[in-house]
Structure 1
Amino acid sequence: GLRPRPGQEVSVKVLGALEDGGLVERDPRLTFVPGYGDVVQALELGVPTMQPGEVAFFLAAFPYGYGRPGREPDVPPEAPLLFEVTLLEVREGLDPQPLPPAARLRLGAQRRERGNFHFARGDFPAALRSYRLALRALDGPAAAPPGPQEEEELREQRVKCFNNCAAAEMKLQRVEEALAACEAALSISPDNGRALLRRGQLLAQQGRDVEAALVLRRALELDPASEV
């Protein structure tokens, strides 16, 4: 078989172990699209070199595993990992838009969680990529109309993703992009305290003091415990 091409979806069987042999990963069928940031770098980089049916071993230094912090409770800080990977299947990547609402929510949550992992490692560009992919999964038409509860969950998840994007853009000191993310969150949830607070702080950075004061006052009205 041929190696996976960009945009194709792969399914792999994965075992991951620490140097002492302790098993920390066991997934009989892990499915992802290489390059989307949904898995550790060792798999992102290693699986595209494989062919279907092949078994490979990847010894991953900590930057290609769970990073400097590790992963509580089972992966210590700066831990190298040994992965045994079997490439089970390669197929054309699925567009998330026609998925049922519940599947879109699961995919969005998975990618947002991956973004949070990158953010905690200080890899803010990778975090942004994951948050944007989460939004791609959550946005747009679905295979079936969402029910009222699913519609509300989709809205809440989109607001969280936009807030996450704003936080990552602020870490990268990209004020305009961070403002745009805050405004996207507020277009869905006008009284979202976190988005208001960040928007006020960003406006103040731009010297737009009158606008900043109005926004920050509103944030404080909604949440008096906010730190301005």
Structure 2
Amino acid sequence: MAEEKEINGECTAEVKPHEKNDSSDQKSDADNPATEGAVEENEWLDILGSGQLKKKVIKAGENDSRPERYHVCVVNIQGTLEDGTVVEKYENYRFQLGDAEVIQGLDLAIPLMDVGEEADILVGPRFGYGTIGRPPDIPPNAEITYRVQLLSSESETPLENLSALERKRIGNMKRERGNWWYSRDEHNFAIQCYRRALDFLDDIEGGILVEPDQDGKKPNEDELQDLLEDRLKVYNNLAAAQLKIKAYDSALSSVQTVLRCQPKNVKALFRKGKILAARGDTEAAIPVLRLASQLEPESKVIHQELSQLVKQKKKDSEMEKNLYRRMLGQDKVDENSKIDSRSKYSKISWGLVLGSLATMCVGIAAYKFKLV
């Protein structure tokens, strides 16, 4: 039940053009302000003014046909390193703009393209794969130049028009994208993907369009159950990512959503215990982790976390007892008693020493007297 680089024991699928390493300083959508206005072909446009993201028009497209956020875009794309190595190449690649389905540089630059346009987009590491890179082909701090051709752009299909199977497919795709971000410690982007996944997997007003069974006579209720299972996976993952950024209240709300439906979900119990412990509520965290340990007794991770909390609670109890003693003045009384005892002991000891010396002197005098 590894918690750091794997979510729910799932292997994340290889994703297409992805994101930067340092997400804390960046906005995660395509709504960032960018330089507008006409730019001649073969001239570089410094989109953010930092030199980290540039665009050069190779071939103009249709006027006034730029995509908007959440539009579904189709592109041909090729990414090349500074030494000429091609590291990414996709034809008719379909993605949703502003949903962290491509690296942030492309999410910011493609909204400045017209349909049919072909452009070079230079993406610095800050808006690309960052200090991590993408082993083994993209090194850390790599600058990548993308040749992009925007083939089409269209609005997303309204949720109420999607069948349960289609919503399941899209929701799980966005969940897997979130898992990829999580594996890179890009927790803000992971949270963005998980929330978008829930848009497709959660209930909506008016219900979900359910496809009929093979006999065509009744709705397939198994599809709705599958949606519920996938939804709880997302909430569990969302809680883990929120815990990483110390959004404890939000994380607790996410995990409680899981436990309301599945009170014995071990991963949800484990994460709830960690959230409560992180909030400093050790006493409430221990019984939660004990239940998780009973449900999954072979889990070393749960046992380790529980053992640490039990030790912490014992330490806290001792500190509280010492605090109460100081408040009641017991330490002062005990200290005075120790001083009195030491004084009496000192007097008795000195008395014994002096008596012994007197006896020795008498003995020596008598001995000398006899010798004389």
For Structure 1 versus Structure 2, the TM-score category normalised by the shorter chain is 0.7 to 0.9
Cα pair 2:236 2:268 within 8 Å, conserved? yes
| Superposition deviation, residue 38 in structure 1 | 1.5
1:78 alignment partner in structure 2: 141
| Change over 3 Å in CA distance of 1:213–1:6 after alignment to 2 | same
Cα pair 1:14 1:27 within 8 Å, conserved? yes
Alignment of 1:176-191 (within 5 A): 176-191=249-264
| Change over 3 Å in CA distance of 1:65–1:222 after alignment to 2 | same
| Superposition deviation, residue 59 in structure 1 | 1.5
Cα pair 2:243 2:251 within 8 Å, conserved? yes
Q: Which amino acid aligns with 1:47?
A: I
1:167 alignment partner in structure 2: 240
1:92 alignment partner in structure 2: 155
2:236 is equivalent to residue 144 of structure 1? no
Question: SS of 2:269's equivalent?
Answer: helix
| Superposition deviation, residue 121 in structure 1 | 3.4
| Change over 3 Å in CA distance of 1:84–1:188 after alignment to 2 | farther
Cα pair 1:39 1:114 within 8 Å, conserved? no
2:50 is equivalent to residue 10 of structure 1? no
| Superposition deviation, residue 167 in structure 1 | 1.4
How many residues are matched? 228
| Change over 3 Å in CA distance of 1:174–1:81 after alignment to 2 | same
CA distance in 2, matches of 1:152, 1:75: 40
Larger mean CA deviation between 70-79 and 192-201 belongs to 70-79
Q: CA RMSD in A?
A: 2.3
Q: Which runs of 5+ in 2 are unaligned?
A: 1-62, 212-218, 306-372
CA distance in 2, matches of 1:24, 1:81: 9
Question: SS of 2:275's equivalent?
Answer: helix
Within the candidate set 294, 299, 303, 1:221 is matched to: 294
Larger mean CA deviation between 77-86 and 38-47 belongs to 77-86
1:194 alignment partner in structure 2: 267
Compute the TM-score of the two structures, normalised by the length of structure 1. Answer: 0.87
Question: SS of 2:137's equivalent?
Answer: coil
CA distance in 1, matches of 2:271, 2:98: 30
| Superposition deviation, residue 45 in structure 1 | 0.6
Q: Which amino acid aligns with 1:126?
A: F
| Superposition deviation, residue 60 in structure 1 | 1.3
2:39 alignment partner in structure 1: none
Larger mean CA deviation between 167-176 and 200-209 belongs to 200-209
CA distance in 2, matches of 1:103, 1:17: 34
1:134 alignment partner in structure 2: 197
Q: Which runs of 5+ in 1 are unaligned?
A: none
| Superposition deviation, residue 74 in structure 1 | 3.0
Compute the TM-score of the two structures, normalised by the length of structure 2. Answer: 0.56
Larger radius of gyration: 2
| Superposition deviation, residue 164 in structure 1 | 1.6
| Superposition deviation, residue 63 in structure 1 | 2.8
CA distance in 2, matches of 1:81, 1:197: 41
Cα pair 1:9 1:94 within 8 Å, conserved? no
| Superposition deviation, residue 66 in structure 1 | 2.6
| Change over 3 Å in CA distance of 1:148–1:67 after alignment to 2 | farther
